[in-house]
Chain A
Amino acid sequence: MGQETGRTILSLQGINKSFGPIDVLHDISLEVKAGEVLCLLGDNGAGKSTVIRLLSGVHQPTSGQMVMDGKPVLFRNPREAADHGIATVHQFGGTFPLMSIGRSFFVGREPTRWFGPLKLYDRKKANEIAVKAVQNFGITRIDDGDRLVGGLSGGERQALAIARAVHFGARVLILDEPTAALGVKQATHVLRIVNEAKKRGLAVIFITHQVMHAMAVGDHFAVLIRGAVAADFRKGERTREQITDLMAGGETMADLEAQIETYMDSHDGHPPQAVSA
């Protein structure tokens, strides 16, 4: 698909972001390549969402530079990011439950046709294109563009949103916790679609805190801790345990287990009481 695999499409260079006196991101440098999946890992509050918002034009960096295709870029709003081919898909697909598949697929870019002097929304064309685009991603159960999005499963909604992004020429696909709300089978579905997008030469940024899901599709991993890149490595360079430890803030699971054991030794074998709310 046009894009040469392995070429850097978008990079962040020394990005800082603060909201008033609060520094959220320090000196973030990342790059995403065509046909690769960059997994952005990190605990809640590590700054993953802020990175996404910078990439998708919701916020602007305080300092540092974003470079796309070798040229510095600044996205002042989501529309500008979208015009550069950056598409963000959120946890629930960012779609509209009570709209039809065809209508929500084309929101904001409706196909129209002329009927005498009137410009009409072309429902038939919209439905056909939407259904075809989703089926190309292997979701063959969707065959009626008039169905409401709310009646689809979580995985199907993600597929719809990803198909939509690809259809409208996305080059960088940002997936914000796409598997977080899904069951095991549905999540596998989504991971397969991520692989499919990768095969088509898209640069994918996959945000998650499920290490298993990340390892299933990722080529390149970055772990964020308190707003900084704590580790940046490629596929196969770290084990699952090491990544989990990194995400837990550098504190290794082994340490934690040792602590609990010591506690139990000194408390007649009782584990520490969980602090309730």
Chain B
Amino acid sequence: MNRNTSLGGLLRRPEAGACLGLVAVLVFFGIFGGLTFLQPAGMASWMNVAANLGVIAIPVGLLMIAGELDISVGAMVPFGAMTVAVISGHFGLSIWLGIAVTLAFGVMVGLLNGYLVIRTAVPSLIVTLGSLFAVQGVVLGLTVMITKSTSVALKVQGPAKAIFGDFVFSGQMQVMVLWWLLIAAAYVYFVHFSRFGNWIFAMGGDKVSARNAGIPTERMTILLFVFSSTSAAFVGMCQAILYNSAQVAGGQSFIFNAIISVVVGGVLLTGGFGSIIGIFFGTITFAIVNQGIYYTNFDRNWSSLIIGVLLLCAVLMNNTFRKMALSYAPKKGAK
């Protein structure tokens, strides 16, 4: 059982494309931008982007593996930021209450998304497109009604600031990076080492067979939607605590960025294939391209072009690797 030792074995894994992509962008920016972006200050710049995106990209990727999609995360980020800012900033209530209510709202939106998806035959893209706009409307409407403004200040001190919205390691890296590593490790266990991960892959492979095999597909679907919307609310909340303010707009970039990270990370859009490590590397790759451009002499307007090309290359590469994995059969005595 030495599936991980040979080069071929590595290439057949879902994260193969993401690893090669990461190496490619490292080389690219190493040549054109020097190695400054690998020094602490440079590293912090893309690690911060990767961490905030990564906390959302992993549950979004899990939903994709299970054959669903959640784009309402784009509204959940400002929603999370605004909820904690209104409760703990505008009304001056305890920050812990603000955090609890924010996460509870995240869970509620996730339950609603999941429930609508399993009860109606409507594709989750449409359901969450609906909740994306609905939540945006709620955030804007309620914020202006309560505070008469679209921007709310929030001042947090003490342990809550240190845990959720501060800088660590000589003041450049956000504490979110630690959260990301912790959460990613927990997901790796959940998806690749516990039995529940197997259920998610089975659901993405064939939902009817999965249900017939006794997997509680509906409960798992709802759970995954709760993960994604709560994670997005969490990221918004932490940003509000970090920057001492919350805006009603912003957050939409998370939708496409999360999907790009997930796809670059080797997850199959139609479900049933992918890995957390792949999503992790996909997110770093995206963040390096996003930030690395500042370390080169290129006009930063070109960064979207690089991301677009990267995405297409990644998809083609991942297709090739998946075919290799499918057609793989061990040959007797061959090396």
A residues engaging B (CB < 8 A)?
56, 78-79, 82, 88, 90, 94-99, 103-104, 106-110, 112, 118-121, 124, 127, 143-144, 146-148, 150-151
Contact = CB atoms under 8 A, between A and B. Distances in A.
B256 interface: no
B272 A96 contact: yes
A107 B3 CA distance: 21
Interface residues of B, number: 30
A130 to B, nearest CB: 13
Contact of A94 (B3, B195, B199, B206): B206
A107 B199 contact: yes
24 contacts: A78-B214, A94-B206, A95-B206, A95-B209, A96-B206, A96-B210, A98-B205, A99-B198, A103-B198, A106-B198, A107-B198, A107-B199, A107-B210, A107-B215, A108-B202, A109-B214, A110-B198, A118-B194, A120-B193, A143-B330, A147-B330, A148-B326, A151-B328, A151-B329
A106 to B, nearest CB: 7
Contacts of A90: 209
A144 B212 CA distance: 26
Contacts of B209: 90, 94-96, 107
Given A88-B212, A151-B328, 4 more contacts: A94-B209, A109-B213, A146-B1, A147-B328
A88 B211 CA distance: 13
A121 B194 contact: yes
A96 B215 CA distance: 14
Give the interface SS of chain B, mostly helix, strand, loop or mixed.
Answer: helix
A79 B216 CA distance: 10
Contacts of B3: 146
B189 A150 contact: no
Interface in B187-231: 189, 193-195, 197-199, 201-202, 205-206, 209-215
Given A120-B193, A124-B1, A146-B1, A108 B214 contact: yes
Contacts of B326: 97-98, 148, 150-151
B325 interface: yes
B203 to A, nearest CB: 9
A118 B198 contact: no
Interface core residue of B1, B195, B202, B329 (most chain A CB under 10 Å): B195
B198 A82 contact: no
A148 B325 contact: yes
B117 interface: no
Interface core residue of A56, A99, A119 (most chain B CB under 10 Å): A99
A88 B209 CA distance: 10
Contact of B202 (A82, A96, A118, A124): A96
Contacts of B328: 147-148, 151
B268 interface: yes
B180 interface: no
Interface string B296-335: 0000000000000000000000000010011111100000
A57 B1 CA distance: 39
Contacts of A96: 201-202, 205-206, 209-210, 272
B273 interface: yes
A109 B212 CA distance: 12
Contacts of A148: 325-326, 328
B193 A147 contact: no
Contacts of B193: 118, 120-121
B205 A112 contact: no
Given A98-B201, A103-B198, A82 B330 contact: no
Contact of B273 (A98, A121, A144): A98
Contacts of A144: 329-330
A112 B201 CA distance: 17
Nearest to B192: A121
6 closest Cβ contacts across the A-B interface? A96-B205, A110-B195, A108-B213, A108-B214, A98-B273, A94-B209
A127 B212 contact: no
A106 B3 CA distance: 20
